[in-house]
Structure 1
Amino acid sequence: MTNVFTLVERFTFRHSSADLDSSTPPPSLPPEIQYWAGVIMRNACRKDDSRGGIRQCANMMCGRWESFPREFAKCRRCRKAKYCGKECQSTAWSEGHRFWCSAKDNDEDGEHHHGHPGEGSSRSGDATTTLATRQAQHVASLHARAERRAERERSRQLAAERLVEQNGTARVPPNAMRSVVSNLSINPDATLAALNAPRLPPLGERDDAPVDEGIARTVIEDGTGDDMILG
């Protein structure tokens, strides 16, 4: 039994931009070979959608399938090969994966982690994506709630306007009473003088002659009734 993955991955190897920009760039394979090699690798490591999207270990000598999606860890350097455990990854590394494992741009070429450390990186990325998705959903929910609230307010406003038109009732502006009261002017001196003026007895209880209305009004307005003699 042959490990197809190890044989084919050499034809899918792509040099980093730093290697290609160097003074002595390495020879590159024709794009047709890289394309078909990539097709073979994708088919070899293709997820089985009929079984929930699980994948097979990249060590074809193992043949183990995931029991649930994203169970196996990816190689943290190339992010392509997935292994069921440290033993299979070490075996594939010694069989040739170390020669063809290409780090992504801006990654350290000497860094390569075996086993499950790659799983932690993969799950960390998944957690970040999930958090961003939840935040976006929360913002969308708040926006939709605000739109529904504004729509209810518009509906109430239209209903009130229709009711006013049907009843023919003029709409009272807001704070109308406050505006009327604020426009009133009160003279405190005149008010106090009227309150302190002496009260005249009824006409039936007086023995003297009727008082002239002008004099009485002067007494009330001036508040000097105690100093004046009526009669």
Structure 2
Amino acid sequence: MWLIEKAAWKPCVRRNAKGERVQLDRGQFHTSLRNLGEAWSWGKNKVARFLERLEDHEMIGTVAGQSGCTITICNYDVYQDARDSSDQDGGTVAGQSRDTQEEGKEYTSVSKDTSVVMPRASEKGHRIPANWHPGPLPATVAALVAQWPPGREERELEGFRDYWEARTRDAARSDWDKVWHNRIRDQHDRVLRENRNGSGNFNSGGRSGVAEAIHTARDRLGLSR
């Protein structure tokens, strides 16, 4: 709800914390993990995990840049009906104007053209395909995997496929590569910790019992996507 309230209700230009102009489309919001953490009283890592969960559930789309992150609210029109523009002018715009004055930024109406791609509403989720294999990893994710011990990526991928193939509820995703990338980010610290402790080579066919139990519990709570 906080993100929906902060999102632009019409195309505009907003100035970021550095004073740079950021072009936004309807339903978009430009910010940084630090600013969100300050607003929500959360740590940066918790903010990042929360945004990843929203993205996995196709509630938002994110595009990272040097000055911060542009968040797109999926199905924004469902939440903010624009049929009565007078109400928007008297309410949402006024609220956004107050926010920008407080933050030293400004809004300006611009063309609807934008370099940030809005997720297509027609993209529907589907179950993980049989014998699914991910495509090439993004550079930042590949850098994490490069720190893993030999063979660990294959083990994690096998467990990832087995988990999603066996899951019976909430098992549809529109972009399985992205889900896999988020899984790597989420498991990175655990993999390094197990490798340091010498437990990363136990049970070559899968995870150690304790790690498996923790992982299963986190997945059931929706914390490991």
Question: Do the structures match in fold with TM over 0.5?
Answer: no
Higher helix proportion, which one? 1
Higher strand proportion, which one? 2
Larger Rg: 1
Name the TM-score, length of structure 1 as normaliser.
Answer: 0.23
More RCO (CA 8 Å, sep 6+): 2
